[in-house]
Amino acid sequence: MILKKLISYITFRRQDGPQTSYLRMMHGINRISILMFLMAIIVMFVKFCK
């Protein structure tokens, strides 16, 4: 359930309800931070496995 919601959030699927420009910008920044976090986890995992 949570993983499905996270994937739909990252893949820019339409959210329910009205959105203001500030809310859209906040969601964009959140997507960028989630993607950067996942990239950092992957890099740490690769370095750890070497």
Residue 13 has pLDDT above 80, yes or no: no
Residues 6+ apart with CB under 8 A from 34: 6, 9, 10
Residue 6 scores a pLDDT above 80:
no
49 pLDDT exceeds 70?
yes
Residue-averaged pLDDT of the chain: 83
Judged on CB neighbours under 10 Å (0-12, 13-18, 19+), 22 is exposed
23-44 pLDDT tens trace: 888 888 988 998 899 999 999 9
pLDDT of residue 16 exceeding 80 = no
pLDDT above 70 for 14: no
